[in-house]
Chains A and B, each alone.
Chain A
Amino acid sequence: MPDPIHQFEIHPIVPIKIFGWDATFTNSSLFMLIAIFLVATFFILAMRGRSLVPTRVQSVAEVTYEFVAGMLRESTGQSGMKYFPLVFTLFVFIFTANMLGMIPGFFTVTSHIIVTAALAGLVFLTVLLVGFAKNGLHFLKLFVPSGVPIYVLPLVTLIEIISFLSRPISHSVRLFANMLAGHITLKVFGGFVVMLLGAGTYSFLAPLPLFMAIALTALEFLVAFLQAYVFTMLTCMYLNDALHPGH
């Protein structure tokens, strides 16, 4: 049976060492660069015409913009639009990386927790910095819910702090786990087809996992979009907490 984990292996392409730091260019870096290159070229080419009546490609770019802008405006209000570049970049990068991963033989960048953790950490730090810069110590009110009796307040505050600190973990694990689990499942079902084909009399059962794999592929495309959407949605909500901490 083909190893379902094999697809997530990292291979060095160009070994680079900077002052003892290992900054090797790997297949993961390559696919991140491909994703960025695709996104940049797409948007530059799509918006080159800047026509009032958009062409097909231009309207795809515009719809993407409207989609993310609507999401951000809905949860943070107009004041959050300052962070639109960050949110839009996150959405488009994750979406492209997820979709690239759906092409057979390609590497899925977002199936490695270090990548999603870096993205979630970026969001977490942004929320902290923006929160303290905009509201000062008032930001700490996020941890002190109103209307709680004074004798349980310390306990509730502690729980709120743990809940806040758990955000980057759930934020990153969700995307990573979905991509990892989906790709492993696909590979396992694909492996079943091959195994059943070699099973002599039982080989007539081989189409069953094949149909399952086809259905799962469709589901994975949905998940690839949905997880990019959920990641962006949560980013918007966390930014909203930083901008308006009083709830």
Chain B
Amino acid sequence: MSDPADSRGPGQRQMSPEEKAAFEGRISDLGEKLGKVKAQRATDAQAELDAQMRGRGMAYGMRMAAELVSAVIVGGLIGYALDWLLGTKPWLFLLFFVLGFAAGVLNVMRAYERMQKEFKAKTDGRIGNSVPDDED
């Protein structure tokens, strides 16, 4: 420590130049290996997250489809039943079919709003992968 020429610590003071070169080579090798492992880990984590998000996306997609279709079916059924009861075939069926479609769109919009809220709560507003902005 008292030697100001070599401040790397007491262990390395006796190293010959060849030894030093070998040692540094080992260090850079290790750094390279470590970098590879780290990169692998990062891609693994990313792939896992991607797979999870894909599963979630599929689930949400199915959900949206179910929301829309079920309302149309219910509307159509109500119209059909009313037609059958009142003998006004096919007018109420047509009317309620369209109303059912409107209700379906309403369902989808509400589900979407909820989904957004859920996502925001989970990722603090960052949806999907963060992409560097030109302005940053």
Contacts and interface: CB of A to CB of B under 8 A. Distances in A.
Contacts of A222: 51-52, 55
B59 A230 contact: yes
Which secondary structure dominates chain B's binding surface? helix
Interface stretch (A29-37, A47-55, A104-112, A161-169): A161-169
Interface in B15-48: none
Interface string A189-220: 00000000000000000000000000000110
A169 B56 CA distance: 21
A219 B55 contact: yes
Contact of B106 (A159, A174, A181, A237): A159
B102 interface: yes
Contact of B71 (A166, A177, A227): A166
Contacts of A165: 74, 78
Interface stretch (B4-12, B60-68, B83-91, B128-136): B60-68
B67 A170 contact: yes
A173 interface: yes
A177 B73 CA distance: 16
Contact of A166 (B55, B58, B107): B107
A162 B59 contact: no
A162 B71 contact: yes
Given A163-B103, A166-B73, A222-B55, A174 B78 contact: no
Interface class of chain A by DSSP = helix
Nearest to B56: A226
B99 A170 contact: no
A170 B75 contact: no
Nearest to B60: A230
A170 B69 CA distance: 8
A240 to B, nearest CB: 11
A160 B102 CA distance: 9
Contacts of B55: 219, 222-223, 226
Nearest to B107: A163
Interface string B113-125: 0100000000000
Contacts of B100: 162, 166
B107 A174 contact: no
A170 B104 CA distance: 10
Interface string B94-105: 001001101110
Contacts of A163: 71, 103-104, 106-107
Interface in A221-242: 222-223, 226-227, 230, 237
B77 to A, nearest CB: 9
Contacts of A162: 71, 74-75, 78, 96, 99-100, 103
18 contacts: A155-B99, A159-B103, A159-B106, A162-B100, A166-B71, A166-B74, A166-B75, A166-B100, A167-B70, A169-B70, A170-B66, A170-B70, A177-B66, A219-B51, A226-B55, A226-B56, A230-B59, A237-B114
> Sorted from nearest, which 4 A-B pairs have the closest CB atoms?
A169-B70, A170-B70, A166-B71, A162-B103
